[in-house]
Amino acid sequence: MKSPSDIVSVLERELGAQAIVGPGHERLDDYGRDESPLPEFYPPECAVLVESAAQACAVLRICLERKVPVTPRGAGSGMCGGALPVAGGVVLSTERMQRIKEIDPADLIAVVEPGVITGVLQTAVEDQGLFYPPDPASLEFCSIGGNAATNAGGPRAFKYGVTREYILGLEVCLMGGELLRCGRRTAKGVTGYDLVAGFVGTEGTFGVITELLVKLLPKPPAAATVLGVFADVPTAGTAINGLLRDGLRPRVLELADKASIDHIRAKSRYRFPANAGAIVLIEVDGEAESMQMMMEKVGMRCDELGALDVLAATEPAERRSVWEARRLISPSLKEAYRIKVNEDICVPRGRIVEMLARIDRISAETGIATAVFGHAGDGNLHCNLLSNDNPDDPDVRTRMWSAAEQVFRATVDLGGTLSGEHGVGLTKRDYIHLEQSEQVIEWQRRWKAMWDPSGLLNPGKRLPARRVCNE
Ligand code: 2HG
Ligand code: ZN
């Protein structure tokens, strides 16, 4: 590998000093961190803030020529360490690529650069009566390129699906500097292998996304939100199953346990009953006339099961205050604990209540506090392991991660998967053998090697090192 100053000065010469956050720059450290629960910090030699596909290709060409590792980065909101430059080298950030190039209401598509903030895209298309459904909780600061890289989900995934279902076309810079455009603008298309689907969710290990062609829908005319408060998780689980059996197709079906509620009680505008042990948040959308009927159906089902309270909201301001309670959970936990290991496991819907019971057992046995909430409609639970011990103490970390491993094992035991929406990155890389066979992992290694034979693009992510690891 060349000396640090060498790669920094070559990139500076090629792209100009304004594109480089180099040694000594106060912002350089920011590129060594993300939102993952890792205390480590991985300073890169420099970050390059590209403004075009041509610049991204130049970075990937230079890094391959000089054998320097390069780590792509969106907004840095990832929760699994996927954008951390663990091998040093260069961080290639797309944060400056923020143009919405086209919104076409006839074709129901938008063409965007990867640095566009997801919430900004949503507002822009909604202003034209259109709808981009994927809504990760971080939508006010995460970017669409990062969403595609992780195949992000969100509450509305229950009805509308995850990011992959909305990416029709991609422009991708490959390691070495080749530019690839793939996909289509049409609603349908089955010509050739689906490279677009293959790129989505690869966390920047196959290439760097520099443009996305996304699918839009007409904006639903109305939406309504209902919050059902129950005494415990099993009753909330029965309510969820009942609602689905009633044939209701909400766009959102969220659940939160008592620990999650207790952390937002004091902050939320909604006053939770003292004995609240679980909440279910349901959101429906469709024609304005049908909202009242759907809300009544949901309210009746909740009442039948002895809900402690049911709050129905149709006005945007009321709906915002219900959502505020849900969105407060993750930041409140982060504020209250020095360590928040959040695992976004996903189990078959019928096993949710059992999974929560298993998590309670793991918490009792390990003495580690937990809070569980998330996208119950998809079986996608955010199991947070919480502690106020010293995060730098290796014993504390071993204890936290061995509890996480128990959660993973229980998940797989119930037929689930390790990550429903946050990705694998660095934090889950060494656990995927719990779920996938060595054969499956090996085929993924070959796939990665096809796009990046040098192994220099986002090294150390997604796949465990080769070993006999099948259990
Ligand atoms: C959410 O749904 C996010 O709020 C964050 O995916 C989850 O902090 C978490 O565990
Ligand atoms: Zn989530």
- Give the closest residue to 457 by CA, choosing from 212, 180, 209, 211: 209
Give the residue whose CA is nearest to atom 4 of ligand 1: 137
The pTM assigned to this predicted structure is 0.95
CA distance 233 to 238: 9
Tell me which residues have their CB closer than 6 angstroms to ligand 1.
137, 330, 342, 374, 382, 384
Please give the DSSP secondary-structure letter assigned to residue 457.
B
Identity at 445, one-letter amino acid code: R
Which ligand is nearest the CA of 370, by number?
A: 1
Which residues make beta-bridge pairs with 20? 48
> What is the pLDDT, as a whole number, of residue 3?
53
Atom of ligand 1 nearest to the CA of 374: 2
> What is the pLDDT, as a whole number, of residue 469?
42
C-alpha distances in Å from residue 384, one per residue of 46, 80, 291, 330, 430: 33, 13, 34, 9, 19
* Burial status of residue 78 (CB atoms within 10 A of its CB: 0-12, 13-18, 19 or more): buried
> What is the pLDDT, as a whole number, of residue 467?
62
- Give the closest residue to 450 by CA, choosing from 218, 191, 180: 180
Centroid of ligand 2 to alpha carbon of 155 (angstroms): 7
Give the residue whose CA is nearest to atom 9 of ligand 1: 330
Centroid of ligand 1 to alpha carbon of 64 (angstroms): 36
Which token pair is 405? 């491993």
> What is the pLDDT, as a whole number, of residue 245?
86
Q: Could you tell me whether strands 90-93 and 70-73 are parallel, antiparallel, or unpaired per DSSP bridges?
A: parallel
Which token pair is 87? 């091998």
Q: Where on the phi/psi map is residue 228: left (φ > 0), alpha (ψ -120 to 50), or beta?
A: beta
CA distance 238 to 184: 43
Which residues make beta-bridge pairs with 381? 345, 374
Centroid of ligand 2 to alpha carbon of 357 (angstroms): 20
CATH class of residue range 337-451:
alpha beta
Pocket test of ligand 1: the residue of 35, 36, 77, 79 to mutate, having most ligand atoms within 8 Å of its CB, is: 79
> What is the pLDDT, as a whole number, of residue 471?
39
Which token pair is 263? 């952390």
Q: What is the largest CA-CA distance in the chain?
A: 70
Give the residue whose CA is nearest to atom 6 of ligand 1: 137
Q: Is it true that domain 220-335 has CATH number 3.30.70.2190? A: yes
pLDDT digits (tens, 9 = 90+) for 128-146: 999 999 999 999 999 999 9
- Show the low-confidence residues of the chain (pLDDT under 50): 1-2, 469-471
Domain borders along the chain are 4-93, 100-218, 220-335, 337-451
pLDDT digits (tens, 9 = 90+) for 275-291: 999 999 999 999 999 99
CATH class of residue range 4-93:
alpha beta
pLDDT digits (tens, 9 = 90+) for 70-127: 999 999 999 999 999 999 999 999 999 999 999 999 999 999 999 999 999 999 999 9
Atom of ligand 1 nearest to the CA of 342: 10
Centroid of ligand 2 to alpha carbon of 392 (angstroms): 27
Q: Where on the phi/psi map is residue 129: left (φ > 0), alpha (ψ -120 to 50), or beta?
A: left
Pocket test of ligand 1: the residue of 156, 335, 382, 418 to mutate, having most ligand atoms within 8 Å of its CB, is: 382
**For the chain, the helix, strand and coil percentages under 3-state DSSP, each to the nearest 5:** 40, 20, 40
Centroid of ligand 1 to alpha carbon of 328 (angstroms): 10
Residues composing the chain = 471
Q: Which CATH fold topology does 100-218 show?
A: 3.30.465
CA distance 77 to 50: 18
